[in-house]
Amino acid sequence: MNMTSSPDAPRELMAAVDLGSNSFHMVVAEEFQGELRTLEKRGQKVQLAAGLDNQSILSDEAMERGLVCLREFAQRLQGMDPARVSVLATNALRAARNRQVFIEQAEAVLGYPIEVIAGREEARLIYLGVAHTLADDGGKRLVVDIGGGSTEFIIGERFEPRALESLHMGCVSFTQRYFPDGKITKKGFKEAVAGARRELLNIEANYKTIGWESAVGSSGTIRAAEQAMIENGWSEEGMTADGLAKLVEFTLQFETINDVNISGVKPERRQVFVGGLAILTAVFETFDLKRMVYSDGALREGALWDLVGRSSHENVRERTIDSLQERFYVDTNQATRVKVMAAALFSQVKADWSLNKEASNSLAWAAELHEVGLSIAHSSFHKHGAYLLQHSDLLGFTRQGQTMLAVLVRNHRRKIQKDEVSVLSKRQQTTALQLIRLLRIAVVLNHSRDAHEVPTPVLTVNGDDLMLAMPEGWLEEHPLTATDLAAEVDYQNAAGMKLSVA
């Protein structure tokens, strides 16, 4: 449907979908004069985390609950530009060992790729969503988001986070762990608070050192707690320590989680409310909070603003790449030479291979970081670089995005490890092998590290076969490069990918 905000100006529609551990949420918005206008919000309790067994295997029943929800979301998202749709999965799918099974089914239903994000990236996006709902004034703020399987803690000022952490505790997991069979006891609640406080020991000292002027909460648990305090007269505005104590006392009067009936707590929240309330209590106690206010901004709103940032070149991923280059003393001149050559090769084959902008970005970032492992050792530096990229917290990147970079850097020299490409989703594997081939050629052509000018070759495609043509006589004048290219021909052919050089 062609919707417009005026007779002459088409809406720039965008959407974000949050596949949370407790609920799935979707928000559809339009970008208008630098602001976002929310057009539609939908959410369903899926309780994906409740479907994880003690081996971190997601049950068929939990998967089906998720797919049923996504079939509804898919109808609303149909026809939207994929570059303007962000689908992000959090703790439950981070933890699930069989997540790829669900992701492939869900992508088929939804029609858009699903990205699993790391805990700190989740925290960054949450903060971005919260920051855009608050006044743009000075002063550091502590932001807390209690999810189904993890809780994120951020200290930031205006739109810039200064500390990001994600801890393994959530309203679903804590309700299951400390209130088995749904029984609510004071002993179980006390143990749940103690368990949360143990988790908070990991960040307590650092966060108190940084400090904050205000505290903000941004999750369903916190929204329910605030609403319950206000509707029951335990607080006039926001959440207070005294109001929280009264809410806890009232909640512990119920015998089971199914009995929970508190004004302000919606029925779909009640079954996981007691676990979230224990975590909130631990947060207040650990950080000695007197007051916290609720913000309607969250991960999905942050994902929308992240899309806006990328479209206007305010891209956190670029800052992450620059930071890695600086931290690991990358030769940026050499990285740029390889990046420029890789881009020139990419432009010649992108139409034949149907490569998109995201593929172009991945190739460019891999070129900029292909020597990042040299800071560890020259021997097998491509392996060291891949390890760093796979296991670092790279803000702005999804887990799949990090894996793609690691695979490209791992395979930019020596033997092509096709088995390592298989860790990517099926839709990414073909693209990864194509980008690997382009990156390797760009690296080989720049082995001289600016000792002489390197012309851009002509690269042509015939199916999966590549034909590389250098200017007449150039290889004869540069025998070392000719030898390196001959070796590269052997590497690619050995991997079942034909490359010829003229």
Q: What is the pLDDT along the chain (502 residues), one digit of tens a residue?
A: 333 344 444 567 999 999 999 999 999 999 876 678 889 999 999 989 999 999 999 999 999 999 999 999 999 999 999 989 999 999 999 999 999 999 999 999 999 999 999 999 999 999 999 998 886 667 899 999 999 999 999 999 988 999 999 999 999 999 999 999 999 999 999 999 999 999 999 999 999 999 999 999 998 999 999 999 999 999 988 999 999 999 999 999 999 999 999 999 999 899 999 999 999 999 999 999 999 999 988 899 999 998 887 655 457 788 889 999 999 999 999 999 999 999 999 999 999 999 999 999 999 999 999 999 999 999 999 999 999 999 988 888 888 899 999 999 999 999 999 999 988 888 899 999 999 999 999 999 999 998 788 999 999 999 999 999 999 999 999 999 999 999 999 999 999 999 999 8
The CATH number assigned to the domain holding 338 equals 1.10.3210.10
Same domain (yes/no): 79, 190? no
Tell whether 198 is covered by a domain.
Answer: yes
Q: What is the CATH number of the domain that holds 177?
A: 3.30.420.150
Q: Please give the backbone phi and psi of residue 440, each rounded to the nearest 5 degrees, phi first.
A: -60, -45
Q: Is residue 480 part of a domain?
A: no
Residue type, 322: D
**Does residue 77 fall inside a structural domain?**
yes
Q: Are 163 and 283 found together in one domain?
A: yes
Same domain, 148 and 285: yes
pLDDT at position 299: 92
Domain count, the chain: 3
- The candidate with the shortest Cα–Cα distance to 447, out of 487, 420, 415, 410, is 487
Residues 100 and 178 in one domain: no
Domain shared by 151 and 291, yes or no? yes
Same domain (yes/no): 86, 227: no
Question: How many other CB atoms are found less than 10 A from the CB of residue 34?
Answer: 7
Kindly state whether residues 440 and 320 are assigned to the same domain.
yes
Write the CA distances from 170 to 54, 173, 210, 318, 370, integer angstroms: 16, 5, 24, 32, 38
Q: Which domain holds residue 144?
A: 134-295
Whether residues 286 and 328 share a domain: the answer is no
pTM of the prediction?
0.79
The answer as to whether 500 is a domain residue is: no
282 and 341 in a common domain: no
pLDDT value of position 312: 54
Domain assignment of residue 50, yes or no? yes
Distance between CA atoms of residues 63 and 9, nearest Å: 40
Domain end marker among 59, 82, 117: 117
Are residues 360 and 322 located together in one domain of the fold?
A: yes
Q: What stretch of H or E contains 159? A: none
Q: Are 203 and 331 members of one domain? A: no
- H helices, E strands: number in the chain: 20, 14
Cβ–Cβ < 8 Å for 481, 447? yes
Whether residues 446 and 328 share a domain: the answer is yes
How many CB atoms lie under 10 A from the CB of residue 469?
Answer: 12
Q: In the listed set 234, 264, 295, which residue is the last one of a domain according to the structure?
A: 295
Residue 146 lies in a domain: yes
Q: How far is C-alpha 213 from the chain's CA centre? A: 28
Q: Which two tokens stand for residue 122?
A: 């989740």
Residue 17 in any domain: the answer is: yes
pLDDT of 1 reads 35
The predicted pLDDT at position 452 comes to 82
